[in-house]
A and B are shown apart, each in its own frame.
Chain A
């Protein structure tokens, strides 16, 4: 069973619908027991890092999510990718889950580049270049786990990372058309 973690960080409807479209059953849950028992875990998130971390704490999900990210097939999306890292500049600086070692920074103010980045940008992987849909003001710095990179506002950042059974992406595969569905399908099938 695949659990989609609901920690009150954004709307999970489209994540659930994307898996429905693949014919894959998912359960949306805030319950630590359900997430512990799940075979695979999807960790989405939209919003601010500070309130997301606070909410994980209140729901008793911090250790459960860390554990799942370290051992299980795990998919982090957008803010759910960012807070897997050690620390973000957002909200005056917030310590995150620290599953992976890199920092999350805000895009610099560069003329001609609006922040947040909203829209379709390309992700370059060793195999190919494909477009996915992004909505974000903060990015994960380049690191050893980056398997996909994207450029915006003069910055090249880690738009997709992989570490063991963990995959995480800054973009929204659930809103990225065929490319996004193929990524989700690949993740479901490989693990």
Chain B
């Protein structure tokens, strides 16, 4: 961004994109309705998108797929990336009624969610020895130690999200990274996941930018301190690998913003799915070691990142469709994971795990996935052990305009027996 965008300019842009989604939604476009993020049944819209073909062009101009095979191919397609090959990524000042660009709705409040995929790959290599797929498990005991006090504080009635999941996830990431964040620090930044494709309300967009600025500042301060005085945390370990401080700050920010939101989404989704199927919850109670399997099943059934947004870097032919360079492509991970043609069934801890595309594709979500999985698993295991009798005690309050995370803000619970 060369000059500062005024609040009026940002507000008008967000309003215009929202207008686009409603206008095209009213004409029956299922992808536009999905992006409205309100009122519609996401699973039904995913099925409707699949009925329109393995890859079809939404009225919005984006290519969308809910087909398991095409989704897998697109997530592995090197001709797709997060950014426009030639143009800028910031469309706030464009006249959308001319450009129709609704691909990068906001700069995500400064969260690094649309870095080039090569950059995520580079940062993932940095993380590998400390927070990678093979190494993240080493933090298990630390996570458990941080999470148990949160569970032990709960009264007979509590809110799953605000009293349990968000404080537990915050305590866990704070412990692992060594960055002193609280649940309050991490509540708003997660909106960034949605804000790439769905415009937040202007006050939320402004709050998001501020909240991410605060988290970035916390990370920066901690990285500076650990560079001088290392401790037994991931920031110190990352610095010890010899990487640039700025890279370590960026990695921290990704784990704090995206990692925490993904762990939160996975946990909330797991509790909803398990308690909605009493036999499943009983199975986990009997064998808390099923927690990892339950997290994977939740990632498949109710992915915390449901939509993956890409831009074609060059002309591509996929599923018989000609995608032009610069076209917008969106993969519906949740719908693809439920594609019946790939044998997908209902949420079930028994038997072989179904195929899942969640947290693949090499974007921010792949980078933060390993510790997010560990955190979600350890929290779920602790809940199964310490709170075996919990019951859902009221309807969930879902976040508005949340088609990507489909985040739950509140879910009342009772501890039960």
Genuine A/B complex? no
Task: Report which B residues bind A (CB closer than 8 A).
Answer: none
